[in-house]
Structure 1
Amino acid sequence: MPRTTRGAVTLAEERPRTRRRRWAAGVVTVAVLGVVVAGGWIGVQRLVHAVTGEQCRVTAAGAAWDWAPDQASNAAAITAIAVKRDLPPRAASIAIATAMQESKVRNVRFGDRDSLGLFQQRPSQGWGSAEQILDPEYSTNKFYDALEKVDGYASMEIADAAQAVQRSAAGEAYAQHEGKARATASVLSGQTHAGIGCALRDPDTEGSPQDVAALLTKDFGLKGTVDGSTVRVSAPSRDLAWAVGSWAVARATDTGVVGVSTDGRTWTRSMEDAALSWSRDGDAGQREVVIRLA
């Protein structure tokens, strides 16, 4: 192989270019630029998301926070159960901040000693069996059971309330997650409208509307009507409709949901930046949620 004056091996791309090779390289460069220009910003977005992967984004009070899709799905379940139990949004903020510290909001099968799940609950400490704790809905309800026994938790600092439940050796660590937890709880509880989007690849298989309706009942206690490949929900309030719509977006990575409409807005699944927000072309009413799986 050719060598430089310093004796190092020269790679092919380091060899001096002839005039013909320089001309060919210029043609290729122009062609590539032409494709980018022709494809426009959409093509750039697709390339970026193909490299960076799927993501969800929560936006509230002028700040944006990114989540991995599985984390967003778990946060949606945590928040929906707080809504179902008629708990204040503060409860969901506390629960999400706790899960961020304990498991990164992932349903992990490992932890310190026999700790498991979103909140790192221990079977040996009476939180339930390992199988039960690994059910996000079960573990979330157990967390709220304990939180409701903390006198004045709704007016406490989030870290203090979390520590009162968890009894962690590093209780002050919960405080670092407060901003993201509060924004996420606000969006997923419907207090902030149109605040979550997820850039997701197409599902491998078509989702089941029956399964989505069953999960809706499990998380929110609400009944959805299955109509072909859609699930329709009539909510008693505009905020609750937004909670359900946001939940459907956040849980799309698990359910195969491809579109959600409510309050005249629509989220459409894709890997483009447009999927990180809602468009204004929805035909669902203020208290109606239409969840599409095809």
Structure 2
Amino acid sequence: MPERTSVKRGRRVARGVSAVVVLAGLGAYVFVYQQSDQSGPPHCVVTGEGDESYTMDPEQAANAATIAAVASARELPERAVTIALATAMQESELRNIDFGDRDSLGLFQQRPSQGWGTEAEVMDPVYAAGAFYERLVEVSEYETMPLTEAAQEVQRSAFPDEYAKHEPNASLLAAALTGRAAAALNCTVDTAAEERVTGSVAAVNERMVREFGEGVETVGDGALLTVSVPGSEETGRGWELAHWSLAHSAELGIERITFGSLVWEADRSREGWRQAGAEGGRTAADSGAELRLGLAAE
């Protein structure tokens, strides 16, 4: 029998079609790329409607996805994600660093001596993002005030105007990681890498539930993990989970991601998201709204 984990979610309860996410395993070096990028080291690219794009490395993409997932668990708007991402871009370049000014640590350079938590807590990206959002939501009208002012109300930085310069890139990334922009995040994998991470249904499920909170319903069987998503193929929730899976694919051993009629595969990652067709096991007509990912075996 497949291992099943079901956690009820209070928001985004949709009637009718249920979207499904299936996770497939990948080796250790899966990274996000623009579809047209054919050279260079593994990296991550998020694109907008025009020529806008933002390039990251795998660590930055994974941390950004975690920041967005924590906001989703708290039912916060996209604007909160944009503010948080811009803040982390300024404070740490989206890296979970173990140093900083005085006792500042982590993605948001939070100081244990200033009541942000213990050193271990602020070095935990999930905790750090949650702590940031807890203070952000206490800022009156943070959704409508200038981003740099909202960030400064939380951070109390010596350089309060520096957050503003990151808003364009943070907005692009937030649109993808909240699922509003479909197939906006792409990955390229170093398939020649000697080390490969073996995927684990339990590990992926545990990580997803911890970051997104209640409401993730999964069925795991062998090298596949299926995650139910209320809504249709156009649902933002499906792309939210698909982009999160892509950003974390290297560390979690995810090698194939399918949502609806689109697929991303490690072995063909330079092609980006493409039409799955019959090769994906289902056609666009019979797949419904389905995100399917496969886990790498030993």
TM-score range for the pair, normalised by the shorter chain length: 0.7 to 0.9
1:95 to 59, 84, 101: 84
1:280 to 272, 275, 286: 275
Aligned to 1:206: 198
Please state whether the residue corresponding to 2:53 is helix, strand or coil: strand
Letter of the 2:270 counterpart: D
- Report which of the two has the higher share of helix: 1
Residue 207 (structure 1) shift: 1.9
Task: Please list, as runs of the form range in 1=range in 2, the aligned pairs for 1:263-274 lying within 5 A after superposition.
Answer: 263-270=260-267, 273-274=270-271
Residue 48 (structure 1) shift: 5.8
Q: Which has the larger radius of gyration?
A: 1
Residue 244, structure 1, aligned to residue 241, structure 2? yes
Residue 57, structure 1, aligned to residue 45, structure 2? yes
CA distance in 1, matches of 2:289, 2:144: 30
1:229 to 223, 229, 238: 223
Could you say if the C-alpha distance between residues 171 and 224 of structure 1 is closer, same or farther in structure 2, counting changes exceeding 3 Å? same
Task: Please list, as runs of the form range in 1=range in 2, the aligned pairs for 1:211-222 lying within 5 A after superposition.
Answer: 211-221=203-213, 222=216
1:165 to 150, 154, 158: 154
When the two structures are superposed, what TM-score results if normalisation uses the length of structure 1? 0.79
Unaligned runs of 5+ in 1: 1-44
Residue 271 (structure 1) shift: 7.5
- Report which of the two has the higher share of strand: 2
Give the superposed CA RMSD. Answer: 1.8
Residue 273 (structure 1) shift: 2.5
- Contact 2:139–2:150 under 8 Å retained in 1: yes
CA distance in 2, matches of 1:259, 1:185: 23
Residue 153 (structure 1) shift: 0.4
CA distance in 2, matches of 1:270, 1:69: 17
- Contact 2:70–2:130 under 8 Å retained in 1: yes
Aligned to 1:290: 292
* Identity between Structure 1 and Structure 2 (%): 40
Residue 208 (structure 1) shift: 1.4
Letter of the 2:293 counterpart: I
Runs (4+) off by over 6 Å: none
| Cα deviations by residue, 1:79-124 (Å, 9 ceiling, x for unpaired) | 1111111100000000000000000000000000110000000110
Task: Please list, as runs of the form range in 1=range in 2, the aligned pairs for 1:96-135 lying within 5 A after superposition.
Answer: 96-135=85-124
Letter of the 1:87 counterpart: L
